[in-house]
Structure 1
């Protein structure tokens, strides 16, 4: 078992059948410019309506030139946390950690411990997928009813930052339609897992958050 300490996390409350997002692009001082910087998390219903998809994006604002050299940090454990009973404590976790061009997944499983420390769940269901290189078609893998992806993707988050600044400064009162996408042409590193809803209770509301845990 390897002990890791949380460096950064994002929290999102979502219904299993509804897509919600949380965004944070390089503005958290503790992780600014680091490989542990989580930009967005997403949860939405899969094309198969019995499934739900979870996404964690890292290392925002990568230019095309920088994306080719960007990589997942092998000293970082990414953990998808699921609170199933509304007490804001994780009941199930799905962990992802990269090794030599492959992203390994463990879970979902009950965590060995909750809160600020996490351990690699070596006794949980293990899955893996090759990390897709920049510019190549998506490589996916399936195991135990789940599907996985890891690699660079175009940043899907839309934000008209110039107009937002104008509104904050009192120089405008509303967003333009259409607006200007500040993040157009920039990339992120994505980790995606699709799983049956039955793995998380089947229906109802969950609390979902993602943490990047650095090895001590």
Structure 2
């Protein structure tokens, strides 16, 4: 889940499948921004990055007014590429950026079967306690820690997107990811969509430029999100996000502006910062935290609560509050890989 196996093409090319993206101020070095791009669900302990891919971070400067919608054309890009030697793990530093690449314990935690049961049954299916789906699986990680003053100058508020692209003369975008669960839980379910009920939309969405969505499928994305966001809102028996006269859900525009929003000028926060900048922008208020997404933040409870009751009711918990091997506060932050990870299910 999160962004694991987010479409047929990700299933066919798991080496390019982005499982998660994180962005947070460094807890170890103030003034540095940490970017994490995880790929390859169920990676073996000796997994290696592909020499046929570009692993890319894209950062766009934002203003408080552009958090909910567009951004300018100015952009910072960090590309990570590998040669065919593909050493299992490597660390390097230079030009204001420190990088780690290699297998790590998958930091994502969610009772994924309960989330899918919720979609299938139309009723909240979370239990307490619960368990992480196939706990102990590994991913291939890239961690980039950036000296903000040296690399970004004076700007602090950014939208962050990660991508995998083919490497060569023709760079084809295979996956792109901003916030968690946009594709699997908000775009994936078809049964509530009255317009495109037979359309697998996630591969089309993955190919889009996150900062410049094309007109061709924009109507399809909106129809799917309007329907699925309304489904999540109804799960507690009341409506906290009423649609407008055209049937548009008030969160559709925000979801389509699909990037993590992080303020590098605010200090690291272990939990409670995910979606805080976006929620403040919706309320017309000044944000109070660094936003983004930290490795140990229970982002899924925050997301479910935001979707179901807009924060006006109890926390919607999935019954899993932390990873069994939490991230540290020391570079490269993610836990060492599991030497004996569980095998992926046969139906994948």
TM over 0.5: yes
Distance 1:203 1:72, change over 3 A: same
Gaps of 5+ in 1: 1-21, 103-129, 133-138
Shift of 1:144: 2.6
Higher RCO (C-alpha 8 Å, min separation 6): 1
CA contact (8 A) 1:23 1:41 kept: no
Question: TM-score of the superposition, structure 2-length normalised?
Answer: 0.41
Q: 1:131 & 1:52 partners in 2: Cα distance?
A: 24
Give the distance between the partners of 1:32 and 1:200, measured in 2 at CA. Answer: 35
Indicate conservation of the 8 Å contact 2:61/2:155, yes or no: no
CA offset at residue 145 of structure 1? 3.1
Match of 1:80 in 2: 57
Partner SS state of residue 77, structure 1: strand
Matching residue of 2:157: 205
Q: How much has 1:54 moved relative to structure 2?
A: 0.2
Q: Which has the higher strand share?
A: 1
Which runs of 4 or more aligned residues in structure 1 lie more than 3 Å from their structure 2 counterparts after TM superposition? 169-172, 201-204
Q: Go from structure 1 to structure 2 and tell me whether the alpha carbon gap of 1:89 and 1:210 turns closer, same or farther (over 3 Å shift).
A: farther
RMSD across aligned positions (CA): 2.4
Segments of structure 2 that go 5 or more residues without pairing to the other structure are: 171-348
- Classify 1:25/1:89 alpha carbon distance in 2 versus 1 (closer, same or farther; 3 Å): farther
Whole-angstrom CA distance in 2 between matches of 1:83 and 1:171 = 37
How many residue pairs are counted as aligned between the two chains?
158
Match among 7, 23, 48 for residue 43 of structure 1: 23
Distance apart, 1:174 and its partner CA = 5.2
- TM-score normalised by structure 1 residue count: 0.64
1:140 is aligned to 91
- Alignment of 1:54 onto 2:35: yes
Alignment of 1:58-137 (within 5 A): 58-62=39-43, 66-68=44-46, 70-85=47-62, 86=66, 87=71, 89=73, 91-101=75-85, 131-132=88-89
Q: Which has the higher helix share?
A: 2
